[in-house]
Structure 1
Amino acid sequence: MTKRLQSKYKIDRRLGQNIWGRPKSPVNRREYGPGQHGQRRKGKPTDFGTQLKAKQKLKGYYGNISEKQFRKYYAEAIRLKGDSSQNLVGLLERRLDMVVYRCKFVATIFAARQFVNHGHIRINGKRVNIASYLVKVGDKIEVKEASRELAFVIEAGQLGERDVPDYFEHDAAKKSATMTRVPGLTEVPYPVQMEPNLVIEFYSR
């Protein structure tokens, strides 16, 4: 088991939820945190604790983004017009690694980040290897031709545990997709309830 896999499963167990909806999540077997004191870590949560957990859950879901980077998304979300929590979700959903994950080019968000970093993705015909690149509405995202027959890419496309959201025009055969709109919170297929409003409250204290 790799260090990244251990870290991914530890996020699930620490939060007590299967945040990616994966069938192999350890939370499916035991819903308490890791370590010898995992079963005793339940108490009445404070407002701060509730907000912190909401932040950890959202940050973890998007591949355990660094705190510095996540705070930048918050700053941009409150700068934009409209509901800040909706803006935050929209920014996170536009990340290239999340788009690659949503379009089922790979099986996990962590694999998506590595896939992008290794140069397997083209946007509007140009190679982009920055996982945090923000995809714009109308951009065409595709797996480069030489990478389309990789075994893990084919397997990911056949996964039945999730579907490609309808804010993408998706061509499974050509391993390509176009973002048609920035989704709102209710459109994003989170396996568990996310509370970006609490994240905004956490940072605006």
Structure 2
Amino acid sequence: MSKRQSAKYKIDRRMGENIWGRPKSPINQRSYGPGQHGQRRKSKVSDFGLQLRAKQKLKGYYGNLTEKQFAKTYEDAARKKGNTAETLVGLLESRLDALVYRAKFVPTVFAARQFVNHGHVLVNGKRVNIASYRVKPGDVVSVRERSRNMALVLEAIQSSERDVPDYIEVDGKGMSAKYIRLPELAEVPYPVKMEPNLIVEFYAS
């Protein structure tokens, strides 16, 4: 098992939840945390602990972003008018790797980051290889023609594990996806409950 794959599943076990909703997650068999102390009885979590956990869970969901990347996204959300928690989720969903994952061009958000970095993705017809690139409503993201027959892509498109959300319009034949609008929290198909309001409290405290 690769280091990245191992780390990915460790997040599930540390959170005690199958945060991507994948059948292969070890949390489906072992509900306790990783490591030699994973089976210890859990003590009551403080308010700060709940806020930190909410941040780690959302940060981990998007391919285990670095603290710097996540904090920058939060700062951008806080500067905009409106509900910061909702805006934070909207900005995370606007990442190019997140959109590639949501459009079902790849099976996991980790694969989406690598797929973008390796130059397989176009935005409005131009190649973009930065996973954190922020897609704007109206932008069209597509898979490069020579990358469309990759086993990874064909597996993801045929998978029935998840559906494409309403804020993305996918053209299966053209292997392209149009980002319609920033989503609201309730529209984002998280397999587990995310609490961005606790993340706002975390950074505000």
Residues 1-205 of structure 1 aligned to structure 2 (within 5 Å): 1-40=1-40, 42-205=42-205
TM-score between the two structures when normalised by the length of structure 1:
0.99
Query: What SS does the aligned partner of 1:54 have?
Result: helix
Could you report, residue by residue, the CA deviation over 1:51-108 in whole angstroms, capped at 9, with x for unpaired residues? 0000000000011000011001111111000000001000000000000000000000
Give the counterpart letter for 2:130 in structure 1. Answer: I
> How large is the RMSD of aligned CA atoms in angstroms?
0.6
Instruction: Give TM-score, length-normalised by structure 2.
Output: 0.99
Give the SS at the match of 1:38. coil
In the alignment, structure 2 segments of 5+ residues that lack a partner are none
Identity rate, percent: 67
CA distance in 1, matches of 2:152, 2:67: 30
Which runs of no fewer than 5 residues in structure 1 stay unpaired?
none
Secondary structure of the 2:39 match is helix
Where has structure 1 moved over 6 Å in runs of 4 or more? Answer: none
- Is the alpha carbon distance of 1:41 and 1:77 closer, same or farther for their aligned partners in structure 2, counting shifts above 3 Å? farther
Q: Secondary structure at the match of 1:181?
A: coil
Supply the AA of the counterpart residue of 2:127. Answer: R
Equivalent residues, number: 205
> 1:145: Cα distance to partner?
0.3
